[in-house]
Structure 1
Amino acid sequence: MRLRLAVFISLMMFALTGWASPAPGALHWKAWSDGAFAQARAEHKFVLLDLEAVWCHWCHVMDDVTYRDPVVVQLLNRRYVLVKVDQDSRPDISNRYQDYGWPATVVFAADGSEIVKRQGYLPPKLMSSMLQAIIDDPSPGPSVEKEGVFRPASDSVIKPALLARIEVQYEKQYDKPVGGWGFVHKYLDEESVEYAIRQGARGNAEYAKRAADTLHDATNLLDPVWGGMYQYSVGRHWTEPHFEKLISIQADALREYSLAYAQTQNAEDLNAAQSVHRYVTNFLTAPSAGVFFVSQDADLHDGQENETYFKLSDEGRRAQGIPRVDTHVYARENGWMIDALCDYYAASGDASALEQARRAAGWIVVHRSLPGGGFRHDDVDPAGPYLGDTLAMGQAFLALYNVTGDREDLKAATAAAQYIAAHFAPASAGGGFVTAQKATDAAYRPHPDRDENVALVRFASALALASGEERFHATAAEAMRYVAAESVALRPLSAGVLLANEDMTESPIHVTVVGAASNADVVALHTAALRSITSRELIEIRDPADPAPLTTSVTYPPLKRAALFLCTAQACSSPIFRGEEVRAKIQRAQLQTQR
C-alpha cells in the first residue's frame, strides 16, 4: 500500500522537556512474533509495540528521549515485553496501525488483545503515566474500539446516492484558501490530484485549476539542492517541510507531474518531474543493481533538528555528512517506482528512465520472485507474502507493457494477477483482498486494506482490457464490492474510491497503432501517443502480420500505411496518419468520456 500522508497526523506538538540523562538500565527489544506474547503470558507482563519508521524524526526523538528516561525504563523492564518493528518491513502490521502514524505505540495484554493505541511522539511524563495506568488497570481504553460487522456492497458499482455523497466529500476535502487536499499537513496526495487532472481533461475547468495550483504549490516541497520531494509541510502551509524523502513520495510526485506535463505541456511540471528523477537516480538507486532503496532519513543526527542543514549548498551538506539511506530493497517500493518511471518516460521521452525501469524489474524478478507469479517483500519475509508486493509489481509490468508493447511484460502482469486471486482472495464475497495470508498474531485475523483494494480494482480492470481476458474483471469486481461498501467508501480521502469506480465502470481510451513495430511511421505515431499519455488508457501496437494477436473487440481496416486509431466506449476515430495530430485527438477523446 502507498502510505497515505493523511494518517501522519501525530502528537508532535508536545513540548520536549529536555534531553534525559542515560537511564540506569537498557531496554531489550524483540522482533514481532508469537514468542513475545508467550513470554508475556509466562512472566505475567504486557506487550508494548513501538511501530516506527527508520526515516522518522519523531521516532528518533522517542528513542533518544522517552526510551532513555529512567522512570520509563524501569516501568518497561519490570512489566512489559518490548517489541520494535520498522513499519516499512512489515506491510501487514503497518496497514493494521497506519491510522496512528509513526511512531505508533500499542500495548497488548498477554492474550494479544489491545489495551491502548497511541499516536505520534509520547514525551517521558506522558509515557510513564500511561504505563503505570495500564499496570493499575489493564482494561482497554477509549482508543480500543470493538470492530463492527462489515457489510460489503451488494454490487461492484457504487450506488448513485452513495456516489453523490463521495463526490461532495471530495469537493469539501479541497483546501480552497491554501490549496491541496487535506487541512493539516500539506502534501501532494496523488489520487486527489489525478482525479482532478482527469476531470479537468473532461472539461471541468475548476478541477483543472485545482490540480495545477496544487502541483505548483507542491514545488515548495522540492529540495532545491539535491532534488526530490520532501514528505510534507506542517502548519497548513507549504513552506515548512519535514525533510524525509520516501521512495513512495518520489513515485507519487514523478507520476503526477509527468501526467500533468503530458496534458498541459507546462514546463514547471516537467522541471519538477526531472528534479524527482535526478534525486532518485543519485540517492535512492543501487549503483550496481539498479534497484531502488526505501528512503532517506530526515535527520543527519538522530533526533536533532535539521532545518539549518537543508538550507546548505551541496558542498556544505556533504562537508557535514549525508543523512542515512535505508538500503532495503522491497518489491513493492520498486514496483511503485517502475510504474512512475514508465509515465515519466512516456511524457518526457527520457530513455534513461525506461532503461532504469527495465533494469529494476529484471533484478526484482531474479531476487524477489515467488513460484506462480508472486513476489516477496524482502530477501526473507517473516510473515509474507504480502498483497502489496505482487500488486505493485503487477502494475509495474502492465505499465511497461503500455509503453513498450513487450508481450513478456503483459505475461508477467497476468501472472501477478493470477497469484493475487489465488492467495489473497477474501474468505467471503465482497470481503476485500487481504494484505497477507498469515495473521499477524493469534488474536488478529488477516484484514483487507482500502488503498490496496482500490489499486487492485484499477490494475485488474486495466489488465482485463490489455489481455482480453474477462476473468480479471471478476477480480476487479470482487475488490470493488469491498471498496463500494459504505463504511469503506466514505473514509477520507475520497479520490481513490472515485478513481476505482470510474476504472471499474467506464472504458478507458484505447490507442492502437496498426503496423509493424519496426516501421518508422509506426514508431512516430506510438511516440506521439506516449507524449500525450493520460491517467488511464491502453496504448498498443498491432502488427497485421502477427500470427497470434491479442484478443480485441475492435476490427481495424486493412491499410497500406501505418495508422493510429482512438477508441472510446462510444466510438472509434478514423485513421490518424500524422503524429502531430495525435495530441489534439486524444484530448478530444477525453472530452467524449465526460459523464
Structure 2
Amino acid sequence: MKYILLFFFFTSFVTMSQSIAWRQLSSAVLEEAKSENKIILLNLKANWCHWCHVMDDSTYSNLAVQEYIETHFIPVKADQDANPELSARYKEYGWPATIFINGNGEDVVKRAGYISPEPFLRLLKAIVADPSPEEETGFPTVLKASPDSDKSVLNDLQKAFENALDYEDGGFDQDQKFIENDTYEYALFNGKEVKIKNWIKTSVNGARKLCDPAWGGVYQYSTHDDWEHLHFEKLLSIQTRYLRIFHYFNLYFPEEETAQKEIDGILRYINRFFKHENGLYSNAQDADLVQGEHAEEYFRLGDKERMKLGVPKVDTNTYTYNNAELARSLLILSYGNEGDGSYARTSHKILESLAQRKASNNLYFHAAEKRKVWSLKDQIAMALLLIEELKANQNNKEVKELLNTFLSAVAKQFINENGSAKSFVGDNGLIAQPLIEENIQLARIFNWYSYFSNQKKYKVLAKGLFDYLIHPEIAKVYYSQPALLMLSKELNEAPLEFVFVRNGEGSSLSDKARSYAPFYSLFSDYSKDELPQEKEELFGDFEVNVLFACTANYCSSPMYDKGDVGEFFK
C-alpha cells in the first residue's frame, strides 16, 4: 500500500508540475512552423478574464492536452492587452481566443471562449488531420466602388443599425448588454426618430446597473439579454467610454435623472485603484478575487467587507490607447467644469507621460516597454487626443506641429497601395491586415484634419479609405457599422465651425459648445481686434461676447448665453 501511495503522489506531481512551453509570436516562430510543417496554437488571453483563468487551470493543465500540443503544435501565448494588433485582429473571438495559424501566417481555425479539455483535444486532433483553413484568407485589392454600390451598402448599413438595437431593454438585441461608442454617437447626433431617443434613455438607464455601487466604476457587460448578470472585470477603456456616454446624456437629456453620480463613481474608482505617480492609469482589474473562481458574492459586499477579503488583482500596465482615450474624455468633461481645472490638468499630465513614448519614426509605442510593433489602434487614440487638444485651443502651435508630423507619419507608414490602412507596422510574424473599425476611425480623422489644416491630401486619403470600406466585397465582412454612416456624411460636407468672438472676460460660451459638440466640429476663438478680414465683415459689429455656428454656406443666429447654446444643440 505504501508503494501504491508513493506512486499515486509521484504521478500526481508529474501531472500537476508539467506545463506547456509557451512561446512568443515572431517571424522565427512562423519560419519554424513552416519548416517543421506544424500549426501554431495561439492562446490569446487577458489578465482580467475569468474564463481565461479557468481554461489555464483546466484545459491547459490537462496532461493529455499538454502532451498533444507539445508533440503536434507550436504553442504561443499572448496577452491581448499587451498586443493591440492581435487584440484588434481577433476581438470577435475572445477572450480567451484560440487561434491556429499555419507557417504562411494564415488563420486555419479560430475559436471563441472557454473550451473544456475533451472537446479541445478533439479539436486539436481534427486540425492535425486536416490543417487547411476553414475560411478564405487575405483581403480584396479592388478598390473603386460605383455610386450605386455606395448607395446600396449605406442603405443596408442604416437598416442594420436600426435592426441591431433592443428598443425594449436597451443596448443591442443580443445576449450581452452594454453600450458601444459608435452606436451611441450615431444615435445621439444623427438619430432623429423618437424611438432612437428612447433607445438612448433606456440604454443609459440600463447601463447604470453596470456601475459598482461600492467602489464606483463600470463593469464590462451583462449577459442573459438583461442588465442583471454582471461580468465583474473593470477595464480602463470601458471607464473612458462611459465617461463620455454619461456626459452627453446629461447634456442632451436634462429632463432625465442625471448620470453625474455615475461619472463621479468612475473617477473615484480609477483614481483609487488605477492611478500611477506619473499620471498614467492601470489597464484593468480582474473579475475574480481568486482567479478562476466566480466572485459574485464578493461584489455584493460593501467597501469595508471587500477590503477585509482582499482586492482583485489589478493589471498595472499602462497602455497608450486607453490612457489617451481617458485624457480625451477628461478634456471633454473639463469644458463643463467651470472654475475647476482638475480634469484638464489630469488630461495634460497623461499627455505629457504619453509623449515620452514617441519613437524615432514619429509613432507612439504601446507601453513603457518599447516593443517595435506599432499598432494603428494606439495611433488613432493619440490622434483623437491631439485633435481634442486643438479643439480646446486652436492656437496651440506645439500641438499643431506635433499633429501635423504625426499624421504625416501615420499616412506614410500605414496606408497600403489599395487605399486601406494596415493594422500595425513592425514585425510580429503576421501579415498586417486592414481592419474595418480602424480604417473608419482613421478616415474620419484624416477628413477632419483636411479642413483644420487646409491640406487636401488628407481628404484624398480619407476618400481612399472610404472607397475601400464601401466596396461590396469588403462590405460582406461587416454588419452594423454606424461609424461608416457618419464617415459617409462627413465626407460630403464641411464640419460645423463654432466661432467665438470675445468682447470681454471669459470663454464659457465656446466651452459650452465644446461640451455638446460632436467629433466633426471646428472651434475658433478670437478677441474682436484679432478677427481675420473674412470674419471681420461677419462678426465685427458685435460689442459683447457672442458665439456662432457656421457651415460652408450660412451661420446661425448669434448665441449670447449658455441657454442659447443649449437650445441650439437641442
**What TM-score do you get using the length of structure 2 for normalisation?**
0.90
Instruction: Report the equivalent of 2:513.
Output: 529
Kindly report the root-mean-square deviation, in angstroms, between the aligned alpha carbons of the 2 structures.
2.8
Of the three residues 102, 111, 120, the one matched with 2:95 is 102
Of the three residues 250, 268, 271, the one matched with 1:281 is 271
Decide whether aligned partners of structure 1 residues 78 and 363 sit closer, same or farther in structure 2, where only a CA change above 3 A counts: same
Shift of 1:345: 2.0
Q: How far apart, CA to CA, are the structure 2 residues paired with 1:424 and 1:249?
A: 27
Instruction: Report the equivalent of 2:4.
Output: none
Instruction: Report the equivalent of 2:258.
Output: 268
Name the aligned partner's letter for residue 127 of structure 2: I
Decide whether aligned partners of structure 1 residues 561 and 108 sit closer, same or farther in structure 2, where only a CA change above 3 A counts: closer
Q: Which runs of 5+ in 1 are unaligned?
A: 1-18, 588-595
Shift of 1:192: 0.9
Name the aligned partner's letter for residue 412 of structure 1: L
Q: How far apart, CA to CA, are the structure 2 residues paired with 1:102 and 1:171?
A: 28
Aligned residues: 555
Query: 165-174 vs 561-570, which deviates more?
Result: 561-570
Shift of 1:177: 3.3
Deviation track 1:79-110 (CA, whole Å, cap 9, x = no partner) reads: 22211011111222222222212111122344
Q: How far apart, CA to CA, are the structure 1 residues paired with 2:467 and 2:216?
A: 40
Does residue 1:492 correspond to 2:492, yes or no? no
Decide whether aligned partners of structure 1 residues 381 and 268 sit closer, same or farther in structure 2, where only a CA change above 3 A counts: same
Identity level (%): 26
Q: How far apart, CA to CA, are the structure 2 residues paired with 1:553 and 1:252?
A: 39
Of the three residues 462, 485, 492, the one matched with 1:505 is 492
Q: Residue 228 of structure 1 contacts residue 280 of structure 1 at CA under 8 Å; is this kept in 2? A: yes
Q: How far apart, CA to CA, are the structure 1 residues paired with 2:38 and 2:309?
A: 44
Query: 172-181 vs 370-379, which deviates more?
Result: 370-379
Does residue 1:115 correspond to 2:108, yes or no? yes
Decide whether aligned partners of structure 1 residues 207 and 187 sit closer, same or farther in structure 2, where only a CA change above 3 A counts: same
SS in 1 for 2:374: coil
Deviation track 1:429-478 (CA, whole Å, cap 9, x = no partner) reads: x3x1111123542xx42211111111112222222333333333223222
Query: 172-181 vs 551-560, which deviates more?
Result: 551-560
Q: Residue 235 of structure 2 contacts residue 285 of structure 2 at CA under 8 Å; is this kept in 1? A: yes
Of the three residues 195, 214, 224, the one matched with 2:213 is 224
Instruction: Report the equivalent of 1:14.
Output: none
Decide whether aligned partners of structure 1 residues 530 and 437 sit closer, same or farther in structure 2, where only a CA change above 3 A counts: closer
Does residue 1:87 correspond to 2:87, yes or no? no
Query: 56-65 vs 87-96, which deviates more?
Result: 87-96
Instruction: Report the equivalent of 2:302.
Output: 313
Decide whether aligned partners of structure 1 residues 87 and 344 sit closer, same or farther in structure 2, where only a CA change above 3 A counts: same
User: After the TM superposition, which residues 24-43 of structure 1 pair with which residues of structure 2 at under 5 Å, given as runs?
Assistant: 25-40=18-33
Q: Residue 44 of structure 2 contacts residue 97 of structure 2 at CA under 8 Å; is this kept in 1? A: yes
Of the three residues 563, 568, 580, the one matched with 2:546 is 563
Query: 558-567 vs 248-257, which deviates more?
Result: 558-567
Q: How far apart, CA to CA, are the structure 2 residues paired with 1:427 and 1:355?
A: 41
Decide whether aligned partners of structure 1 residues 110 and 385 sit closer, same or farther in structure 2, where only a CA change above 3 A counts: closer
Q: How far apart, CA to CA, are the structure 2 residues paired with 1:420 and 1:154?
A: 25
Does residue 1:395 correspond to 2:387, yes or no? no
Query: 182-191 vs 525-534, which deviates more?
Result: 525-534
Of the three residues 437, 444, 448, the one matched with 1:462 is 448
Decide whether aligned partners of structure 1 residues 63 and 553 sit closer, same or farther in structure 2, where only a CA change above 3 A counts: farther
**What TM-score do you get using the length of structure 1 for normalisation?**
0.86
Query: 155-164 vs 484-493, which deviates more?
Result: 155-164
Name the aligned partner's letter for residue 118 of structure 1: R
Instruction: Report the equivalent of 2:358.
Output: 369
Instruction: Report the equivalent of 1:542.
Output: 526
Decide whether aligned partners of structure 1 residues 401 and 146 sit closer, same or farther in structure 2, where only a CA change above 3 A counts: closer
Name the aligned partner's letter for residue 156 of structure 2: R
Decide whether aligned partners of structure 1 residues 342 and 386 sit closer, same or farther in structure 2, where only a CA change above 3 A counts: same
Instruction: Report the equivalent of 2:8.
Output: none
Deviation track 1:503-554 (CA, whole Å, cap 9, x = no partner) reads: 22233332111237xx41x42322332344445422331235559x799899
SS in 1 for 2:81: helix
Q: How far apart, CA to CA, are the structure 2 residues paired with 1:530 and 1:510?
A: 11
Shift of 1:379: 3.0
Q: Which runs of 5+ in 2 are unaligned?
A: 1-11
Name the aligned partner's letter for residue 435 of structure 1: S
Q: Residue 170 of structure 2 contacts residue 200 of structure 2 at CA under 8 Å; is this kept in 1? A: no
SS in 1 for 2:60: helix
Does residue 1:166 correspond to 2:152, yes or no? no
Query: 503-512 vs 60-69, which deviates more?
Result: 503-512
Q: How far apart, CA to CA, are the structure 2 residues paired with 1:395 and 1:477?
A: 19
Q: Residue 157 of structure 1 contacts residue 484 of structure 1 at CA under 8 Å; is this kept in 2? A: no
SS in 2 for 1:47: strand
Decide whether aligned partners of structure 1 residues 233 and 20 sit closer, same or farther in structure 2, where only a CA change above 3 A counts: farther
Instruction: Report the equivalent of 1:591.
Output: none
Shift of 1:249: 1.1
Name the aligned partner's letter for residue 376 of structure 2: L
Q: Residue 156 of structure 1 contacts residue 478 of structure 1 at CA under 8 Å; is this kept in 2? A: no
